[in-house]
Amino acid sequence: MNLSFFDQFTSPCLLGIPLILLSMLFPALLLPMPDNRWITNRLSTLQLWLLHLITKQLMMPLNKGGHKWALILASLMMFLLTINLLGLLPYTFTPTTQLSMNMALAFPLWFATLLTGLRNQPSTSLGHLLPEGTPTPLIPALIMIETTSLLIRPLALGVRLTANLTAGHLLIQLISTATTALLPILPTISALTMLILLLLTILEVAVAMIQAYVFVLLLSLYLQENI
């Protein structure tokens, strides 16, 4: 029984070929394609409005030098948002529940922001490792602590996204299993658990959107420190 709960986090395979790449490419089919029409449909208009709103919120705290990252951050936001939401559908697979994938997204982007700071303003970037006015005896300890907190940032990004989505999927499966098991025995309790399942599903939709936004927002804040 314990293994069956975690089977949903196993990458599906077809003829021995992992289908995780296909599940990662599928959200791109939902994005609007450029065309020559002056007037598009309501769905494309809504998607473009949402993309503009997300880009505006992400670029607001950044200066003009950080606006070069607008395409990368907005694309990452839409990618994570669509994958997280599609993963809530029945009989689907959520790639963002895999720590390896989240780390593959977090580490290169975090490292790019770090290299940007070291290239453009090395003194300021290295100055973050030692707060101003630190007593001399505490300097070695604070440098080690700040360096550790800096290096742990990509791990925190990946683990936060993985843990929140994994916990939500497990709760949904546990409550849905309880609802099905209680239906022939205690229909009233089963209806109550079904109501809880509905509320939890709504909560998980919000969590899927919030976690995608938090992931990209933290990257933009890391970028803000280095530009």
Residue 13: inside a domain: no
The C-alpha angle with vertex 179 and arms to 177 and 183, in degrees rounded to 5, equals 120
pLDDT at residue 39 tops 70: no
Provide the token pair at 56.
Answer: 């505006």
Provide the token pair at 51.
Answer: 């993309």
Q: What is the pLDDT of residue 156?
A: 92
Distance, in Å, from the CA atom of 207 to the CA atom of 209, rounded to the nearest integer, reads: 5
Distance, in Å, from the CA atom of 225 to the CA atom of 72, rounded to the nearest integer, reads: 17
pLDDT at residue 189 tops 80: yes
Residue 55: inside a domain: no
Which amino acid, one-letter code, is at 35? D
Helix/strand/coil for 134: coil
Helix (H) or strand (E) holding 14: strand 13-14
Distance, in Å, from the CA atom of 157 to the CA atom of 162, rounded to the nearest integer, reads: 9
Q: Which domain holds residue 199?
A: 77-226
| pTM beyond 0.85, yes or no | no
Tens digit of each residue's pLDDT (9 = 90 or more) over 67-112: 888 888 988 988 898 888 888 888 777 888 888 889 999 999 999 9
Q: What is the pLDDT of residue 1?
A: 45
Distance, in Å, from the CA atom of 194 to the CA atom of 12, rounded to the nearest integer, reads: 28
> 114: which residues sit within 8 A by CB, 6+ positions away?
125, 150, 222, 226
- If one counts the domains in the chain, the total is 1
